[in-house]
Every structure is written in C-alpha cells, then in structure tokens.
Chain A
C-alpha cells in the first residue's frame, strides 16, 4: 500500500534530503511505495496545502532541521498534527544541530554580529518586514512536540535512511543500535593511556592505528555506531556528529567522564589542552545538553 509521506525542512542545511537523493538508483525501488504530499525542496506544494490537510492524514512525517525561527516552530507543530508518525530526521532535528552552538550567546548577540557588526556591512539593521522572527534559544524538536522516532546523523547515511524507511513501510520495528563508532571502526586498538593531546592538524595521523590512542581527540568511543566509522576510516578523528548512543542523555558530559579516566595527565594539563570544551566535546547536540537547557529556561524566564 502506498504511504503518504511529508518531508519538512526547518532551519537546516538540506544534508538529510541530499542523503536521501544519494540513494541514487535505489530511489527507483523506494519511490513507487511513496505518495509525496509535501516536500518543498523538490515538489511544488505550498505550506497552505499542508495546513489544509486533515490531522493524522500523513503516514510518515520526516522533519529535518531545528527551530531557529518562529516559522520553524509553526511548521514543526503543523507537521506533528498532520502526521500519524513523526520522525526527527537528522541530528539537527534530534538534538538541535550545529546551530545549537549558538546557544552559547543570547539571540541579541547573534543578531548583532550578523546584521550590525559584520565587516562588510554598510547599512546595519535587524530585518523585520514579512519575516518570522527568531527563537531565543534553540530547543531540540523532541522537547517541543512529541516525536515518535529519531534518526540521528549529520546527515544519516543513505543506508540509515533506507533502512529506516523500509522498516516504516513494512511496519517492522527500528531500534537505534546500542553500539558506538568503535564497534564499526577498522583501526587497531591498544590500551588507552594518553599523555598528551594533539590537535587535528598537528603531526601526522598514522593510518591503521586507533586515532584516540595516538592522542587525537576522536569521539567515536562515546558516539552512536550508525555511520560505519566514515571519518576514522579516512584517518580523520570522529567529531561525534551522530550524537550519543541510546540512554546517554548528555553527550559532552559522557566524553568528559571518559577522558577523565583515560588521560594520564594532570588536571591542569587537561584543562590547558581543551580551552574550548563546548566545541571539543559537543558538535551537533549542544542544544540537548543539561547546561544548554538550563540556560534556555533562564532565558525564557527572563523574557517573561
């Protein structure tokens, strides 16, 4: 039976859609099963068409991106209403995404840098006409509406999306694996005692040997194993873009906890090695961290 599907884009980069398109010829197998009722990236139906649909009339709603504007919030609520099953598609949707790093500042500070102070600006102002306005703080989608499933990834690989789609179309369960990137990584591992951390551009990352063992900050040990260890396979440290394994609520906190165990360094040395803990230990999921959420509550209390 053909299923009605909507693909909605909040503030995002389109990478998840691109990953779907990157099924290439496999699309020819998947497309006949789908009746795409809303996908502005590719199809010409308008927001008014989506808003006019009966509630729960869409079988699967895929929402990519996170709520940076008030229009994003509206769109998220609409697609939740109209969908039987809502899937938070990609790390932006599940955890807030890389734009969650913006939660380090107030929205006023963000607007100021972009619209008032940037070096090429000749006529500064904050635009307001026929525009939605911004949210004060990025709150991950699962905390704004009920989400039925998350498919993390930045983006989820084409295989991840294909598996999830197949499971949905055939009514089979799809559980996120309780694995880390290390489980999928081809590098040779030894006992972990790190005496010094090196930044990615320093020295030379030797192929075939665990990148963390070599002293580079590879977050694979604390990151869900869904991507096939794409980055370590090409000699590049994992940056944790798929988020934590299931059950871990705060990705960065878990990383800190583990580093405390494997670093054979004094606390001062460790502090000096990571002057930017937010940037080093979080990437696409800062908005889901405890500290970011506390900040978010404080900001919304202050605005009342």
Chain B
C-alpha cells in the first residue's frame, strides 16, 4: 500500500447475519480506489455432508443459519426427494408451505425491526448507543412490543409445524413426520386476526419511513444489477417454482427449472471473501452480477400471489418503476413480502387439508442419483444439490445459499455509496428527517 493511500476498515459490520468486514481504499486525492466486502468465515457444509445418510441432511443443513433454518430444512428435503424420485403427499406440501411462510414472516419482521429500523428511527448519523432494537424498545415501547409479538407469531407457528422454530425437524424425504393438530390450527386461527392487524400497522410504519427518507432512498446506492427470484406462473413464490433472471434494463433473460441451474449460475471466487460472487453465467463476470432477496423477487415477478400484497407492490412500482435498483427499496419490498406471508398463512390455516393425517409416504426407498432442492429463503434463492449412492448416502454436495447470491451486489452497492460519500459528499446535502429516537 502506498503512503498516500488511506485504508478504512469497518470491523465487524454490525447488524449483519454472519461475519463481515469492510475495507475501503482511498487515493491521496480522496478517490475511492477499491471497496471490499470481506466475508471472513465459512464452515464447509459442502464437504462434511459427504458420507452422511441423505435423509439426515434436513437435520444437519439447517445449522447453516439460525435465522432461516426452515428454508434449508425444506431445500434439503426437496433435494433428496428429487434424487430419489419421490413425490410427497399434497397435504405434506401444504404443511411445508405453512412452515416456510411462518419463517418468512418472522424473519422479515426481525430484519425490519432489529436490523434495519434502528438506522431509520435513530437516523444514520445517530449515536451508535441508540441505533439498535434495544433502544427502540425503550424509546418507543408500543412499537417495541408490537415488533416482539409479530416475531412471536411467526416463530411459534413455525415451531408448531416444524417441531421447533430454530432447526425444525419434521420434514423428511416422503413427507412430514408429524401432522398439524386441529388444536394448534384453531389456536393459530384465533391469534391470526391480531397478527394481520399488526402486519398492516407495520406497513403503515414502513410507509412513513419511506416517505421521511425519500431523498436517501432515491439518491444513495441506486445500483443497477441483474435480479434472481422464484415465481409460479409469474406470481412471487417462495416454496416451489421456476427461477427467473432479469437484466438491469428489466428484460427477463432466463426462466428455468432449478435443476438446470448450472447453465445459468456462475460462481466467481474473489481473493478477498470466503463467500463467493454469484453471477449470470451467460453474460460473464462482473457484468452478470445479480442480487436476490426481497427486491429481486419483486422485480422478477409479474405480480404478488395475494391481493393486499399486490396492492402494496403496485404502490411501490407506481413510485419507483420496474425494475427498481434503489438498494434501500429492499426494505420496502421486504414489507410487501411480509404481507404476502400473512395472507398465505391465512389461506393455509383455513384449508381443511392442513390437519390431514395423510402427510407421509411409508415406502420411501433410496436410490443412486442426484437432485436439486430450491426454495426462496428470506435473503434470497436457496439451492441445495445432492448426489447419493445406491444406499442413499451422500457422495457430493453443491450449495448456493441465499445470501451468497447477494455478496457481489452488496459490494457493488457499497462502491456506489462510497463514491457518493467520499467523493461527492452527498451525505452533506441529503434531506433527513428528525430522528424518532434521540
């Protein structure tokens, strides 16, 4: 490093799930030379799943993430079912949809209230001691209580279906090990009305935040990238569907079954991050860098699958267009997805099949083969690919986990933001509201 350069290191990046540091290199003239998002840990699940009974993968893989274990639990199950040519009973699929939506709901609420909201309620220039959910709970107790209750509904519903919310256990190749009882169904139907009310209250809060922060949202880190997301006949979908890739102009350049992913997924290993950079293979790296997660899903889908969420999506598109490149709009898209999650939960709880006892095949046999299991986790498209031998023992694993899809895009948006801040001094003229927490 030359004497004239300056290196800024943020260690660690906080309110992040996982381990990351940020390295920004500035030239003497104050120009941004380089921005690195250094993801500094990985645990090698792709290797230590080798040699394991494949039906144990749905128990092991959720340990990849304590916030989104349900998607891993289900992607692992689907991968084994694909490898062994198994179709689970329809009622089991409905239970799995209930499980993944319960998790989508609690995770999106956790992100909004605990990870994102502190910046908006205390302000980006606020005291670090106040910029966290603990301070929110203290300063805005009604908001804090509502946040906890919203998360509780999702987590307890996930536990009711999955056995436990953190590292669920009931999904297995062939179906579910435990049906959903009528008692539980009735309990959650009763609690549902309040949850729906609170969801709509969260939407109102989110809209206020968007209004107050309109200037930074539309100015900072508006980063054109490709987008990846799952859909079912054009509707935003998180359990089972095809994948779409949209280019920065808004053109859908690919629409494929997850099992064909290797034609479209490129994985570039950067020298400065243990999390790799995923990109749209036909267009090369770095041009094809894509982002996944809420905004990407909202970009690639024609519409939401449920009515109130669709109204909310239309509102966002009326304001910001399609595709939306504004990085901060991810928070808005996340709230739109929160609405779809509660609407899907409503539909499933009211479906008489949800308490069916016919939720598992009893004649599941392993075979030699390979299979891809793909779902949408809260943070993005999650893909597990397993190869098994004739005994059903895993011989090889390839995974592209949800957040993995976003690493390159995060770095790109950070580069944009760094230039805007260090070179253009944009932050000095941003219109920011008076913080709610001081």
Determine whether B313 belongs to the interface, using a CB cutoff of 8 Å to chain A: no
Bound complex: CA A28 to CA B115 (Å): 18
A157 → B minimal CB distance (Å): 8
Q: Are B149 and A25 in contact (CB under 8 A)?
A: yes
Question: A14 — nearest CB in chain B belongs to which residue?
Answer: B66
Determine whether B209 belongs to the interface, using a CB cutoff of 8 Å to chain A: no
Q: With a CB–CB cut-off of 8 A, which chain B residues contact A280?
A: 53
Q: With a CB–CB cut-off of 8 A, which chain B residues contact A101?
A: 48, 60
Q: Tell me which of B169, B262, B269 contacts A124 (CB under 8 A).
A: B269
Q: Tell me which of A71, A127, A204 contacts B362 (CB under 8 A).
A: A204
Q: Are B40 and A99 in contact (CB under 8 A)?
A: no
Q: Tell me which of A22, A24, A36 contacts B134 (CB under 8 A).
A: A36
Q: With a CB–CB cut-off of 8 A, which chain B residues contact A278?
A: 51
Q: With a CB–CB cut-off of 8 A, which chain A residues contact B208?
A: none
Q: With a CB–CB cut-off of 8 A, which chain B residues contact A98?
A: 43, 48, 60, 63
Q: With a CB–CB cut-off of 8 A, which chain A residues contact B16?
A: 40-41
B23 → A minimal CB distance (Å): 5
Bound complex: CA A155 to CA B63 (Å): 10
Q: Are B134 and A14 in contact (CB under 8 A)?
A: no
Bound complex: CA A17 to CA B16 (Å): 12
Contacts A28-B145, A130-B36, A276-B53: A231 and B169 contacting too (C-beta < 8 A)? yes
Selecting from A107-115, A162-170, A175-183, A291-299, the interface stretch reads: A107-115
Bound complex: CA A46 to CA B16 (Å): 13
Bound complex: CA A154 to CA B43 (Å): 16
Determine whether A48 belongs to the interface, using a CB cutoff of 8 Å to chain B: yes
Mark interface residues in B1-41 (1 if CB within 8 Å of A CB, else 0).
00000000011101111110101000000000000101011
Mark interface residues in A116-137 (1 if CB within 8 Å of B CB, else 0).
0011111111011111100000
Determine whether B273 belongs to the interface, using a CB cutoff of 8 Å to chain A: yes
Determine whether A260 belongs to the interface, using a CB cutoff of 8 Å to chain B: no
Determine whether B429 belongs to the interface, using a CB cutoff of 8 Å to chain A: no
Determine whether A44 belongs to the interface, using a CB cutoff of 8 Å to chain B: yes
Q: With a CB–CB cut-off of 8 A, which chain A residues contact B97?
A: none
Bound complex: CA A114 to CA B45 (Å): 9
Determine whether B336 belongs to the interface, using a CB cutoff of 8 Å to chain A: no
Q: Are B40 and A131 in contact (CB under 8 A)?
A: yes
Q: Are B262 and A120 in contact (CB under 8 A)?
A: yes
Selecting from B171-179, B319-327, B416-424, the interface stretch reads: B171-179
Question: A18 — nearest CB in chain B belongs to which residue?
Answer: B66
| Number of interface residues, chain A, beta carbon within 8 A | 81
Q: With a CB–CB cut-off of 8 A, which chain A residues contact B115?
A: 42
Bound complex: CA A18 to CA B266 (Å): 32
Contacting A at CB under 8 A, from B157-191, are: 163-167, 169-170, 172-174, 177-178
Q: With a CB–CB cut-off of 8 A, which chain A residues contact B144?
A: 28
Mark interface residues in A233-244 (1 if CB within 8 Å of B CB, else 0).
111100101000
Determine whether A289 belongs to the interface, using a CB cutoff of 8 Å to chain B: no
A66 → B minimal CB distance (Å): 9
Q: Are A279 and B38 in contact (CB under 8 A)?
A: no
Q: Are B391 and A22 in contact (CB under 8 A)?
A: no
Q: With a CB–CB cut-off of 8 A, which chain A residues contact B132?
A: 42-44
Listed residue (B21, B170, B274, B400) with the most chain A CB atoms within 10 angstroms of its CB: B274
Q: Are A24 and B149 in contact (CB under 8 A)?
A: yes
Determine whether A9 belongs to the interface, using a CB cutoff of 8 Å to chain B: yes
Q: Are A102 and B43 in contact (CB under 8 A)?
A: yes
Determine whether A203 belongs to the interface, using a CB cutoff of 8 Å to chain B: yes
Contacts A15-B66, A119-B398, A276-B393: A202 and B15 contacting too (C-beta < 8 A)? no
B370 → A minimal CB distance (Å): 10
Determine whether B42 belongs to the interface, using a CB cutoff of 8 Å to chain A: yes
Bound complex: CA A45 to CA B63 (Å): 26
Q: With a CB–CB cut-off of 8 A, which chain A residues contact B177?
A: 200, 205, 234-236
Q: Tell me which of B14, B64, B131, B269 contacts A127 (CB under 8 A).
A: B269
Q: With a CB–CB cut-off of 8 A, which chain B residues contact A251?
A: none
Q: With a CB–CB cut-off of 8 A, which chain A residues contact B272?
A: 127, 129-131
Contacting B at CB under 8 A, from A3-56, are: 9, 11-19, 21-22, 24-25, 27-28, 31, 36, 40-48
Contacts A44-B128, A46-B10, A279-B56: A234 and B170 contacting too (C-beta < 8 A)? yes
Q: With a CB–CB cut-off of 8 A, which chain A residues contact B276?
A: 115, 121
Q: Are A15 and B167 in contact (CB under 8 A)?
A: yes
Q: Are A42 and B40 in contact (CB under 8 A)?
A: no
Mark interface residues in B354-398 (1 if CB within 8 Å of A CB, else 0).
000000101010000000000000000000010000011100001
Q: With a CB–CB cut-off of 8 A, which chain B residues contact A235?
A: 170, 177-178
Q: Are B52 and A279 in contact (CB under 8 A)?
A: yes
Q: Are A44 and B15 in contact (CB under 8 A)?
A: yes
Q: Are B47 and A241 in contact (CB under 8 A)?
A: no
Determine whether A174 belongs to the interface, using a CB cutoff of 8 Å to chain B: no
Bound complex: CA A2 to CA B133 (Å): 18
Determine whether B312 belongs to the interface, using a CB cutoff of 8 Å to chain A: no
Q: Are A11 and B43 in contact (CB under 8 A)?
A: yes
Q: Are A130 and B137 in contact (CB under 8 A)?
A: no
Listed residue (B21, B36, B131) with the most chain A CB atoms within 10 angstroms of its CB: B21
Q: With a CB–CB cut-off of 8 A, which chain A residues contact B165?
A: 22
Question: A120 — nearest CB in chain B belongs to which residue?
Answer: B267
Bound complex: CA A43 to CA B360 (Å): 43
Q: Are A43 and B273 in contact (CB under 8 A)?
A: no
Determine whether A267 belongs to the interface, using a CB cutoff of 8 Å to chain B: no
Determine whether B241 belongs to the interface, using a CB cutoff of 8 Å to chain A: no
Determine whether B291 belongs to the interface, using a CB cutoff of 8 Å to chain A: no
Further contacts, 11 of them, CB under 8 A, given A21-B110, A121-B269, A230-B169:
A15-B63, A42-B134, A45-B128, A109-B47, A120-B267, A130-B36, A200-B56, A200-B172, A201-B172, A202-B364, A204-B362
Nearest first, the 7 A-B pairs at minimum CB distance are A15-B66, A234-B163, A44-B128, A120-B267, A99-B43, A101-B48, A24-B152
Q: Which residues of A contact B (CB under 8 A)?
A: 9, 11-19, 21-22, 24-25, 27-28, 31, 36, 40-48, 68-69, 71-72, 97-99, 101-102, 104-105, 109-110, 113-115, 118-125, 127-132, 154-155, 199-205, 207, 230-231, 233-236, 239, 241, 275-276, 278-280, 283
Q: List 25 A-B contacts (CB under 8 A).
A: A13-B64, A15-B167, A17-B66, A18-B67, A21-B114, A24-B148, A28-B145, A40-B15, A69-B41, A98-B60, A99-B43, A101-B60, A102-B47, A105-B48, A119-B262, A120-B262, A121-B269, A122-B281, A130-B23, A131-B273, A199-B392, A230-B164, A231-B169, A241-B167, A276-B52
